Chains A and B, each alone.
Chain A
Amino acid sequence: MAIQWTTASLHDALRASELEQEGKIELLDGLDPSISIQLKDFGDLPVQINVSGEQIMVSAAMWEASQVKDRAVFNELALKLNPVNALSNVGLITIAPGRDLYVMFGELSASSELAHVIEEIRVLADNTIEAAEAFADHLV
């Protein structure tokens, strides 16, 4: 019963799901491929999905660190937000030298049902947009 997704098989399943009608789903191929989904309902926000071993990581870019007015203040707010908004986490990643990006992410088991993965994608996109609205005052 337990399906164990890989990035490729999850991509195929998502393409065959109702999400296919709601935006653009593509496989960013490579040694470790990732899925990118842009849903119209969420302003075409790209959501990245990657399956690694037993974990599915769903992540979306919030904004670059350079867009934040006061990073110390923002970091504290983000940490305070995390326990309240338990479904998605806020994190910081480095995408290029000197270029940090705040991301919102969630993790699921690689044996989750497709419906749960889709739900996670929607929730994450929604949370990320909500955050953009809520933190607008802290961004340049």
Chain B
Amino acid sequence: MSMWSKIFTMFRGAAHQAGEAVVDANSLRILDQEIRDASDALRKSRDDLTTMMAQRKLTFDKFQPKQNKIAEYVGYIEQLLTKGDEALAREVAQKLAELEGDSASDSQLIQQYDSNIDTLKKSIVQAEHTISRLKQQVDSVKATENVQRAQAALASRNSGSNAALRTATDSLERIKLKQAERSAKFDAAKEIENLGGDGDLKAKLAKAGLLEDRSSADAILARFKAKPALPAPQASAPKQLQADLHTPDV
């Protein structure tokens, strides 16, 4: 079965019973086992690779001196032939024939090892990829499950298991409400400002002594001296501010 089919199987039946885990725990265990099996196989392949590389080295170690020996014998034969000692040359040639045969089979063996080592290395890399992908998928499935559990927990915490959980639509409502409030506040502030006329006029009025600057220390002190028992008015309340602009008391 492919990875995707397995994951779909895991989700199958998720909606059947109350309290049932979202992901079928058994399927996840099977997948877990598969990863373990693949890891074991990978370990075995690595061992095989080590063995094979050692064998190749042993063969190569024997092969190299043989090559030297061959070169040596070839030299002897050439020298013996120039000397005319054909009998001895023949004797050496027999040895050489043996050696060449030996070395040819060694060389073939080395080539076989090389090709096997290459294949093994490739399959190890592939197995590593497969395992990490499987692990990633399992992580993903587990993370999804945990997040789902968290979401379900949040849903049931909002009093009663069937209570609606806070979703994006609620939050959007909330944001819109806040924005509306903010813009209403902004409008109100604008309106108040407009009611107050422009700043230039206010300044002129203030200069003419018609407008009290309630926020200055002098003005506050004066207010206290005039009515010591009265608490300071709330400057932030728009209505108060509006009233102040029109009917400067004190």
Contacts and interface: CB of A to CB of B under 8 A. Distances in A.
Interface in A28-59: 28, 30, 32-34, 36, 38, 42-46, 48-57, 59
What DSSP secondary structure best describes chain A's contact surface?
Answer: strand
Contacts of A7: 146
B153 interface: yes
A55 B161 contact: no
A43 B167 contact: no
A96 to B, nearest CB: 6
Interface residues of B, number: 41
A49 B226 CA distance: 61
The 8 residue pairs across chains A and B that have the minimum distance between CB atoms: A43-B171, A34-B150, A53-B139, A57-B143, A45-B171, A43-B174, A132-B168, A52-B143
Contacts of A49: 147
A139 B137 CA distance: 32
Interface in B152-177: 152-155, 161-162, 164-175
B168 A53 contact: no
B139 A32 contact: no
A42 B167 CA distance: 11
Contacts of A46: 154, 165-166
A138 to B, nearest CB: 11
Contacts of B148: 93-95
A100 B148 CA distance: 11
B155 A139 contact: no
